Structure 1
Amino acid sequence: MWDVVKSAKAENKREISLNGQQLTDLLEENNGKIDVHLFKLNQLNLLRLSNSPLLCEINGKLNDLNQLQSLLLFGNKLNTFPEIDQLVNLKNLDLSKNLLTSVDVDFTSLTHLTTVNLSDNGISSFNMKSSSIHILNLSVNKLDKFPENLPISITELNLSKNEITDIPEDTKLANLKIFDASENKITAVPKSLAGIKMKTLNFKQNPLKDRKLFKLIDQNQSLKAIMDHIQKLGISSFESSAKSDSKSKQNKSESDPEQKKIVIKKFDDDFKIEYDQTVKDVRGFILCCLVNNLQFNAGNLKEFLQFQTKLHDTICKKRELATIATHDFKLIQSKHLKYAAKHKNNVKIQPLNRGEKIYSGSEYFEALKNEAEAFRKEKKRSQVTGVYKFLQLLEDKAEFAFLETDSHVCLSLPPLTNSENTKMSVNTTQLLIEVTSHHNAAICSKVMQELISKLNEISHAMGNNTLELQQVKIVGNDGVLKTLYPSKIDLKELENDLLQIIRP
């Protein structure tokens, strides 16, 4: 048994890192084989076996290392892709600088895998199934065509230094933020690329036939200028004449299958939210909306929840202007909800991510207040800031706003929390969005639009070009309609050439 393996086993170490000559010496002593006892260290979080010309194969079951989060096998002589489809905790995979020529793998079960580096191999054939990968590096390989069926979750894609000649018009990478296709053989850029909201785009050292585009890229002009030019072209090849270019653009515009749609269904007469007058002077503004037929995985669920946090920090001004609550609608089990206010001692809720304990409104407020004070002292600040800043809204307030079911299950206690009972998960397919404010209705509408835009982006990234919304009506105690969302005037700012909104 290798000493490093013996030590890791005895001390229950979480990492093994063998690099260069150290790894080569060990392999040489063991006839070019990895010590099989290494594959029994199922406590490992990180395994690095790198930069050895003697590592030509993996002679053990990597799948037994089921706690691995990082697998780093770069700089070796591997010519076959290791079997790792059961490493469900894997986040980072690096097989760069090996001798791989073909990749055909199914990573749909690896829902935590976000980063894959396959650069500097000899890959000419590539197929990878995944719904979680964000960063994919395929640079310095021998790809002569754009990889098909790339994971739609990708945000960063590096295809530089290959032999790619064109990019398909129907490329479905709506989440792409950073794209490097430099040093290839690309002659044309499709218009569809301009519909992706990227931060970085690199097409340098490609034989682009559009001289203006070539010049814009070569002179490091702004991304906006480059994208505007790509948008105006409207074709996927620059070989035709100006007249046929114009005709191609017209035909494409008329039959573009990639146009996204938001379909708004009329409200369900059986479902309503009652607005009680007790809440008017406490937290008087609320909008709600249903989103149907959603498809989440671990990656895009995390992305959406992080987006909510971002909205709370920015547009919502640390929840001082507005607060978001999202509910798995199938867990509500009620067709009649009530938005009201009552004394903070009489509101009961099981707060999100706080276990099974039931708090009164006053108890939960005090718990957050104590945490805020402890945080302030730890950071040695003169006043509470950041995530707890919204607590000042409820200081010295006797009544709290809440949303509850007809069986008096509290779903949210804005701006403090929403309930564990309706927590979102990867199984959520129908979502009730709730946005409330003490400030005005306009901020609710603005936040709601941002959330729907994000869900539309996620839905498109999962291969669904149609997002289905359903109106939710909020009525007063007398049954008179107070708000309906989305109404005929809502979401107009989202409409453009690439997004059509179909209203009831």
Structure 2
Amino acid sequence: MADIWPEVATAKEENRRELNLHGSEISERIEKRGFDKHVFDLVGLNYLDVRKTCLAELSVSVSKLVNLNTLILHNNRLTCLPETVGDLKKLKLLDVSSNKIESFPKLDGLTELQSLNASGNQLSEFPDVSCLTNLHILNLSHNELQSLPDGIGDDKLEYLAQIMADNNAITQVPADLANLVRLHTLDLSFNKITELPPELSDCQKLKEFNVKGNKFKDRKLTKLVEQSHGKSVLNFLGVQLQKVRESEMKEKGGKDKKKKKKKGVSKDEVEELAKDLIDVLHFPVETGITVQVKPAVISVRPYFVSCIVRNLNFKKSVNMFKRFITLQTKLHDTICNKRHTATIATHDLKLVKPVLVYDARFPHDIKVVPLFKSAEVTAATLVAQLRKEADDLRKEKKRNTYSGIHKYLDLLKDKVQYPCLLDGDGHVISFPPITNSDKTKISKETTDILVEVTSTSSLDVCKKVADELLREMLLMGVGTPQEDVTKGDDTKEDDTVVYSREGDAGAIQKLVVEQVRVIDHEGTLKVVYPSRTDLPLDIYEVNRE
């Protein structure tokens, strides 16, 4: 077939479900002969990724890809999208970020869409989104929007959890955002907003709220925004909302006072609004966990941070343990950048024998029992097995990309030695970024875990990843409610006052985090985590005593 690109021909011949077209070579082809129209004959595709090219126009024929659920057009030169994008009824993820798009088509047909990223374009307006009833994530940051899209506060958007609209020219925030029952993240920083609707304080699940870089009329609000985190701003809005409701009740002649009291939030109640707590235990000299970093690993994967999390309850709900495992996967895909930036590992503390050593060794010298396996293998054998599995699976699924653990194998490419964490008996308990050892695997019965974060980027990256993991664990509620946490071996309950709050969170949650020290081969302290500069105040309080 004339003029068909080899990648497209292969995808057609093997009936593949995925097609990736990236980089300078693809861009040169587009510049010389245009985009290969045969792509749109691959009606079996469910994943199409065209990025970092000079593509300036998407053909209306894209509507022929009726099975597409993922369309990524990141970092091209698109100035618009065809109306026929709305015909992709099965589409769940649409990423058109970092283009030059000035207008956006109607979205009425995209009722299955879960994630929409149109950041980094030149949009001055955006179509009504009330039809996107399955939308979870909306990213419109770094555009020229003067307002949020119509329908953004429609109560039909019951799954919408993240709205990013920073770095625009937005002047007003709709009060009906309070209708979004799952709204967790709202970033409206660096816009032209002068007032905030007090109704935002009714967003019970709003944890990440950023409005910095705006010029508010209220000086107190401006000061709070500059000096505090989002929770303080929401508390301030809660006080304002209470005053509004009190005023409304006075106008009604003082009727329904009981109802007003139930709905309203007093100033004192706002100040003590439920806040979760992370209790940091200082490194116990006699019993604390120490990790020694050997010189060999410095040139391989040098950065290491660790801590212990105690008093966990994975039996709190049927899915709690599964949610925790899913959380690690999510963090690996997001903040860890597909494990390219950092890798997280968790171990059952009672199965870990100190003193721990972080080292790098030749692949044939590393012996590990991989997660969910019973036999010990060398790292060389394990990597070879995984590569074969990956190739066989790719051929079977007719894909040109790896999935699961196999997609991380390239992180070891060209490495003469591999990193590993060894326990006091010399057994490998972690082989980052590939796998943990089955010997220290966590389970529903686990109550104390050892967390490790490794990176090739920086120590700061490790700390940020660890911060995020602990924050998400706190939100998940895997810790123990404060009234149930005991101090040490004493049976006396913690005397922390517990406030009730609405929603699924219930009582205030508490994570008990114990410091772990990392030293070099000479015994000099490299890092202790969490230190006083870690765990920045956000949605929780930190007790460092």
What TM-score, normalized to structure 2? Answer: 0.48
Matched with 1:290 is 308
Does residue 233 (structure 1) correspond to residue 241 (structure 2)? The answer is: yes
Asked if structure 2 preserves the Cα contact closer than 8 Å seen for 1:194 and 1:231, the reply is no
Q: Distance in 2 between matches of 1:237 and 1:294?
A: 41
Asked if structure 2 preserves the Cα contact closer than 8 Å seen for 1:318 and 1:386, the reply is no
Report how far residue 384 of structure 1 moved.
4.0
Matched with 1:305 is 325
Equivalence map 1:338-353=2 (5 Å):
338-353=357-372
Equivalence map 1:124-135=2 (5 Å):
none
Does residue 267 (structure 1) correspond to residue 283 (structure 2)? The answer is: yes
Does residue 450 (structure 1) correspond to residue 468 (structure 2)? The answer is: yes
Tell me the SS of whatever aligns to 2:277.
Answer: strand
Matched with 1:402 is 420
Count of residues in correspondence between the two structures: 291
Equivalence map 1:83-482=2 (5 Å):
177=182, 194-197=203-206, 232-233=240-241, 241=250, 249-256=266-273, 258-269=274-285, 270=287, 271-297=289-315, 298-332=318-352, 334-354=353-373, 356-382=374-400, 384=402, 387-457=405-475, 458=477, 459=479, 461=505, 463=507, 465-482=509-526
Report how far residue 321 of structure 1 moved.
1.6
Give the direction of change, closer, same or farther, for the CA distance of 1:380–1:191 in structure 2 (3 Å limit). Answer: closer
Q: Which amino acid aligns with 2:364?
A: N
Does residue 503 (structure 1) correspond to residue 544 (structure 2)? The answer is: yes
Give the direction of change, closer, same or farther, for the CA distance of 1:235–1:403 in structure 2 (3 Å limit). Answer: farther
Q: Distance in 2 between matches of 1:426 and 1:235?
A: 47
Asked if structure 1 preserves the Cα contact closer than 8 Å seen for 2:235 and 2:270, the reply is no
Asked if structure 2 preserves the Cα contact closer than 8 Å seen for 1:329 and 1:430, the reply is yes
Q: Distance in 2 between matches of 1:320 and 1:442?
A: 15
Report how far residue 462 of structure 1 moved.
7.4
- Residue by residue over 1:354-374, the C-alpha shift from the partner in whole angstroms, topping out at 9 and shown as x without a partner, is 2x1111111111111111111
Asked if structure 2 preserves the Cα contact closer than 8 Å seen for 1:352 and 1:417, the reply is yes
- Residue by residue over 1:411-458, the C-alpha shift from the partner in whole angstroms, topping out at 9 and shown as x without a partner, is 100011001111111111111111111222222122111110111112
Asked if structure 1 preserves the Cα contact closer than 8 Å seen for 2:282 and 2:514, the reply is yes
- Runs of 5+ unmatched residues, structure 2: 1-157, 160-180, 185-197, 209-232, 255-259, 482-504
Asked if structure 1 preserves the Cα contact closer than 8 Å seen for 2:303 and 2:459, the reply is yes
Report how far residue 267 of structure 1 moved.
1.0
Asked if structure 2 preserves the Cα contact closer than 8 Å seen for 1:286 and 1:437, the reply is yes
Report how far residue 408 of structure 1 moved.
1.1
- Residue by residue over 1:361-396, the C-alpha shift from the partner in whole angstroms, topping out at 9 and shown as x without a partner, is 111111111111112222334454664232112123
Asked if structure 1 preserves the Cα contact closer than 8 Å seen for 2:356 and 2:422, the reply is yes
Q: Distance in 1 between matches of 2:431 and 2:313?
A: 27
Give the direction of change, closer, same or farther, for the CA distance of 1:240–1:277 in structure 2 (3 Å limit). Answer: farther
Give the direction of change, closer, same or farther, for the CA distance of 1:254–1:393 in structure 2 (3 Å limit). Answer: closer
Q: Distance in 2 between matches of 1:228 and 1:371?
A: 56
Q: Distance in 1 between matches of 2:313 and 2:243?
A: 32
- Residue by residue over 1:436-493, the C-alpha shift from the partner in whole angstroms, topping out at 9 and shown as x without a partner, is 112222221221111101111123647452211111110111111001111111111x
Asked if structure 2 preserves the Cα contact closer than 8 Å seen for 1:234 and 1:252, the reply is no
- Residue by residue over 1:235-286, the C-alpha shift from the partner in whole angstroms, topping out at 9 and shown as x without a partner, is 99757559999x9632213444x32211111012232111111110011011
Give the direction of change, closer, same or farther, for the CA distance of 1:178–1:408 in structure 2 (3 Å limit). Answer: same
Q: Which amino acid aligns with 2:241?
A: L
Tell me the SS of whatever aligns to 1:468.
Answer: strand
Give the direction of change, closer, same or farther, for the CA distance of 1:368–1:248 in structure 2 (3 Å limit). Answer: closer
Tell me the SS of whatever aligns to 2:319.
Answer: helix
What TM-score, normalized to structure 1? Answer: 0.52
**Deviation larger for 309-318 or 234-243:** 234-243
- Residue by residue over 1:59-79, the C-alpha shift from the partner in whole angstroms, topping out at 9 and shown as x without a partner, is xxxxxxxxxxxxxxxxxxxxx
Tell me the SS of whatever aligns to 1:478.
Answer: coil
Tell me the SS of whatever aligns to 1:280.
Answer: helix
Q: Give the alignment's Cα RMSD to 1 decimal.
A: 3.6
